[in-house]
Structure 1
């Protein structure tokens, strides 16, 4: 039909629908009129290409890299465990060695202290013995007091009292202890076997050993290694004139 007068002339493309306004479409083919079914509507897109398969060499390299990484991790873990075990073993060995060393040092210190104590006791006894000998030399009259104490130590019922002293002390004892001897009816005899400064008392019921050796042994009984009265001085410093002691 002719277009109305005054109407705009239709465009040649007025019968076409823009593609962006179509939701589905299909390409037309001449076979559609030959009794064949028309293709289903829809957009036909090519299938995505399959990812490329790695070559055997690449697979081998990847496997080697994975094994290398796993071996590194295993070795690192085993190394840490071995290091921790070594540290613990070394600490135990070191603790044992230090304990044995401390015990050995303690024993050595104890032995050293004991040796020092014995040496000190010996030096002290030597010094005391030398001082006493010098005292007897300078003041021999002290033997009279020793004799008097020895006689008084006897029971009052004792009879036949005999006091034996060194020949050099006879006169000193006879004069210094005369009152005690007269009161007890005792007598003084000389005996060269008795050291100066000491005496031996005999009676019918017993005796008293007041010799220097016995008195010295009693005085130093608590001091180990002090030695006896007649022992030579252990230190040169203790050497001094001994007189007749």
Structure 2
């Protein structure tokens, strides 16, 4: 008996016309193999065989109740988002409106203040003009009632001339000449001034000339200076 028959294997002759096969290339029928299993990586040394990855399983379709719950949750989330966005928009509108209102109120207040300033200026000008006109009437009345006032004006004008001045001349209206000669005699004598009549000078006025300058105490000049202190340019002669 051959070694092949000892192990229970039958020799199967090669097909006719083929080359004789070696012992390592002999075809083994399935009925001679007994129990066997396909070789897999890791099957040696008792290693566990790797598991094949499971195919993904599609999640189950939501039930109608779950769909309703999702829709309700989405509506609630949308409501909250819309409410939040609405509050943000409302706050922005409030700030914009407040800024615009403040600007408009500020413009109105500034315009009102400017109008008040103009009104104050107009009132002040009217008051000053009225006061100057009243003062002019009072002064004219005083000159008519007490013409001797010109003597005091002449004395003050002569005393204001520099002490070093020479050739002092005092000119007054012819009707005021005797009043000044009597009322300002002491001042005229002390400064050696000459008193002259001048028809070009209005009653109540005095013009003092010297070698160092002149003092214009005529009514119109004195009036202009007094009115300017009150911020008025009203002339001594009223406008018709």
CA deviation vs aligned residue, 1:203-245 (integer Å, no higher than 9, x gap): 2232221112222233333321252323439xxxxxxxxxxxx
Q: What residue in structure 1 maps to residue 196 of structure 2? A: 189
Any stretches of 5+ residues in structure 1 without a counterpart?
1-52, 234-245
Give CA-to-partner distance per residue, 1:155-208, whole Å, 9 cap, x none.
344332221112332232233333433443333323233222111011223222
TM (normalized to structure 2)?
Answer: 0.64
In the aligned structure 2, how far is the partner of 1:182 from the partner of 1:89?
84
Q: Distance in 2 between matches of 1:148 and 1:59?
A: 118
Cα distance, 1:137 vs. partner? Answer: 0.8
Are 1:176 and 2:179 an aligned pair?
Answer: no
Q: How far 1:127 moved relative to its partner?
A: 1.2
Which residue in the other structure is 2:76 paired with?
69
SS of the residue corresponding to residue 220 of structure 1 reads helix
1:217 equivalent among 194, 217, 224: 224
- 2:174 aligned with 1:158: no
Alignment correspondent of 1:149: 156
> How far apart are residue 62 of structure 1 and its match?
4.9
**CA drift at 1:63:** 4.7
Distance 1:76 1:221 in 2: 71
- In structure 2, distance between residues paired with 1:133 and 1:88: 66
Q: Deviations over 1:117-141 (max 9, x none)?
A: 2221111111112111100011011
- Residue pairs, 1:1-245, within 5 angstroms: 61-232=68-239
How far is the alpha carbon of 1:142 from its aligned partner? 0.9
CA 59–152 in structure 1, closer or farther in 2 if over 3 Å, else same:
closer
SS state of the match for residue 199, structure 2?
Answer: coil
TM-score, structure 1 normalization: 0.63
Task: Provide the alpha-carbon RMSD of the alignment.
Answer: 2.7
The aligned length equals 181
Flag the 1:61–1:156 CA change in 2: closer, same or farther, 3 A.
Answer: closer
Give distance in 2, aligned partners of 1:169 and 1:190: 8
**Are 1:144 and 1:172, in contact at CA under 8 Å, matched by a contact in 2?**
yes
Which is further off, 139-148 or 166-175? Answer: 166-175
The structure whose RCO (Cα within 8 Å, separation 6+) is larger is 1
1:83-118 CA-to-partner distances (Å, cap 9, x unmatched) read 111111111111222222222222222222222222
